[in-house]
Amino acid sequence: EAQVTQNPRYLITVTGKKLTVTCSQNMNHEYMSWYRQDPGLGLRQIYYSMNVEVTDKGDVPEGYKVSRKEKRNFPLILESPSPNQTSLYFCASSLDRSTDTQYFGPGTRLTVL
Amino acid sequence: AQSVTQLDSQVPVFEEAPVELRCNYSSSVSVYLFWYVQYPNQGLQLLLKYLSGSTLVESINGFEAEFNKSQTSFHLRKPSVHISDTAEYFCAVIPTGGGNKLTFGTGTQLKVEL
């Protein structure tokens, strides 16, 4: 089954404790992105990757890091989480063109105390 | 840069009634337009998209949207809604020139009641 998976689905942590949210897709997609969803703000792109070892900032990259060492994986790293990073996070992937549908993971709900 | 406006944050409607969810966009370049749907506790999934050609596009579950370039709008409509249509709907755009950054609106929560 073609899918995007994220782990963990739920996470409660404390300020400053490094964490990683994993994202994996099995569709051999070139593009992968991370979004955060906040009430009243819709979804905003954090980082995206056009291929292995190629990443770039989205609209709200501050406080986040990403890496793309393999085509299928695109982890999101919060090295020192803060309460304003409490949000719902989605990973998405698509083929290689802007016309292509983006496929979203199920989301990771993160709470930073 | 692009921006998307969904003025209605919530739209309550009775089952079998028609509904229209409004979407307007602003962009200095040509864009492709999308509607994504998010069912409770799930990720987003594509509902329909406009790339080129006929300005009226349809989804498999009865929704349709019409691209109006002069009004920079892409409103979503359904003539008769069902309880199962209860979800949050997001309008999004992406430049035709490339890239994969979707710019989303703030979403419209459609609540269908009996």
Which residues have C-beta within 8 Å of that of residue A46, sequence separation ≥ 6? A33, A34, A35, A36, A58, A59, A60, A61, A64, A66, A76, A89
B57-64 contacts, C-beta under 8 A, 24 or more apart = B59/B35, B61/B85, B63/B35
Two tokens at A84? 């304003």
Binned at pLDDT 50, 70 and 90, residue A27 comes out as very high
pLDDT in tens, B37-61: 999 888 899 999 999 889 999 998 8
Binned at pLDDT 50, 70 and 90, residue A52 comes out as very high
Q: What is the average per-residue pLDDT within A76-105? A: 92
- Hey, which bits of B15-86 come out as E strands? 19-21, 24-27, 31-38, 44-50, 56-58, 64-68, 73-78
Name the closest residue on chain B to residue A32, using Cα atoms: B100
Burial B34-70 (b: 16+ CB within 10 A, else e): bbbbbeeeebbebbbbbeeeeeebebeeebebebeee
pLDDT at B60 (0 to 100): 85
Across the interface, whether the CB atoms of B43 and A41 are under 8 A apart is answered: no
Minimal C-alpha gap between A80 and chain B (Å)? 26
Local confidence pLDDT in tens for the 114 residues of chain B: 889 999 999 999 999 999 999 999 999 989 999 999 999 888 899 999 999 889 999 998 899 999 999 999 999 999 999 999 999 999 999 988 876 678 999 999 999 999
